Amino acid sequence: MRVAVVSLLAILFGLLAGGVLMAATGHNPFEGYRYLFEGGLKNPERIGNTIATGTPLIFTGLAVAFAFRTGLFNIGVAGQMLFGGLCATAVGLNLDAPRPILLLVMIAAAFLGGALWAVVPGFLKAKYNVHEVVSSIMMNWIAYWTVYYAVPAYFKGTYLETESQILPAAATLRDPFISGLFGGSYINMGLYIAVLAVIVVAFIMNKTTIGYELKAVGFNRHTAEYAGIAVNRSIVLSMAISGGLGGLGGMAQYAGNANNMQIGVLPSQGFDGIAVALLGASAPIGVMLAAVFFGLLYSGKGFMSAMTEVPPEIADSIIAIIIYFAATSILMERLVSWLIKRRKGQRSKPEEQQPAPPPGETSGKKEGLYDVEHH
């Protein structure tokens, strides 16, 4: 409950700051927001597009959230999306099989590709205590350049050097049924897989021994080790699953919402996943809601910039501001505590409120980024 209030406050402050930004640059914020939300919700097609835009974010948010729960910060989801997407594209362009089999193999390839990309930082963390943030940033750029050179060399598009060949319709997640349901929107089967992933992740986290062990490692690595949990194995496994989810996000983006890959782009959805996980308090359902909310901002921004003079980057700015407020959630916590206290009429004694540890931080010993031995 409390985390939900903090998340909603972060969104509120993000939207307020966005409004101030619009007003400061000479636009009408009320008009801007009206068109932004209309653009994402006005008719079934737009609602479908909003959900479709949010679909890759569900995967990337789940990816970040899953690693968070094990005390790992997977900042490399963008690279995992790229490499997972590249693997899926390679299968989609080359494998000649009936559609269900083709799609299943593509999904498996995307998951494995993403997992492989995340296992490297996981292994380096487990074996050599290399911090996963730094190594996953390096992996992001290795993926970036891999796609940059692999696409023109092996999957060159018909017209442009800078994008891969268009996937045949059978090798995409396109689904006329749900698309028709939403008035011809580009919403696709990625949504089914995303909902399935939410359920599976929730199940793994809350109902299985593995999930319990992973969370125990996240709460306190040393206690978990003392309790006989294979900490190093848990770290690698958690990164693998997290990266696999990121890879599926790549599939949902490059073979679902789009039908090819562009080179020279590190997908922003990978980083938005951090915001999604933070806002969703690393809980699968929360992640899904947060992802759809961001999908709304992204899919509404085009309509807004068409109807008003407000540049579309306002949506990206709002999301960045929300992350900043989510990162400084201690500020929100203090605000909430202060409001509660004021309602109870206990304002006389200002008492230091202990904030809940933010997701991704072990509540035990705080560790520096580079994990040098402390004495």
Partner 1 sequence: MWNIIEQIFPYAVMYTIPLLITGLGGLFSERSGVVNIGLEGLMVVGAFTGALVTSMIHSAMPYHPAAVWIGLLAAFVSGVAFSLLHAFASINLSANQVISGTAINMLAAALTVFLARNITGSGKIQTQGLRSFDVPILSDIPVIGKLLFTKTYMTTWIVLLIVLLSAFVLGKTAFGLRLKACGEHPHAAEAAGINVRLMRYIGVMISGGLSALGGSIYIATISGEASGSVAGLGFLALAALIFGQWKPLGILAATLFFGFASTIANVSQVIPSLAVVPPILLKVFPYVVTLIALVLFSKSSRAPKAAGEAFDSGKR
- Between 4 and 23, how does the x/- string for binding to partner 1 read (CB under 8 A)? -----------------x--
Taking CB under 8 A as the criterion, the residue among 316, 335, 336, 341 binding partner 1 is 316
Q: State the DSSP string of 116-156.
A: HHHHHHHHHHHHH---HHHHHHHHHHHHHHHHHHHHHHHSB
Taking CB under 8 A as the criterion, the residue among 36, 57, 139, 189 binding partner 1 is 139
350 binds partner 1 (CB under 8 A): no
Cα 199 to chain centroid, rounded: 16
Q: Which helix (H) or strand (E) holds 101?
A: helix 99-128
Task: Identify residues 63-92 at the interface with partner 1 (CB under 8 A).
Answer: 73, 75
Taking CB under 8 A as the criterion, the residue among 28, 146, 162, 308 binding partner 1 is 146
Helix 313-327 vs helix 2-24: crossing angle, to nearest 10: 140
Task: Identify residues 147-176 at the interface with partner 1 (CB under 8 A).
Answer: 148-150
Task: Identify residues 30-59 at the interface with partner 1 (CB under 8 A).
Answer: none
Do the Cβ atoms of 32 and 308 come closer than 8 Å? Answer: yes
Helix, strand, or coil (residue 280): coil
- Look at the chain and count its residues: 375
292 binds partner 1 (CB under 8 A): no
- Alpha-carbon gap, residue 273 to 57, rounded angstroms: 6
Stretch that binds partner 1, among 28-36, 90-98, 136-144, 193-201 (CB under 8 A): 136-144
Task: Return the closest-CA partner of residue 302 out of 55, 42, 57.
Answer: 42
Do the Cβ atoms of 354 and 213 come closer than 8 Å? Answer: no
370 binds partner 1 (CB under 8 A): yes
203 binds partner 1 (CB under 8 A): no
Residues that bind partner 1 (CB under 8 A): 21, 25-26, 73, 75, 120, 124, 128-130, 133-135, 137-142, 144-146, 148-150, 266, 268, 271, 274-275, 278, 311, 313-314, 316-317, 319-321, 323-324, 326-331, 358, 360-361, 366-370, 372, 374
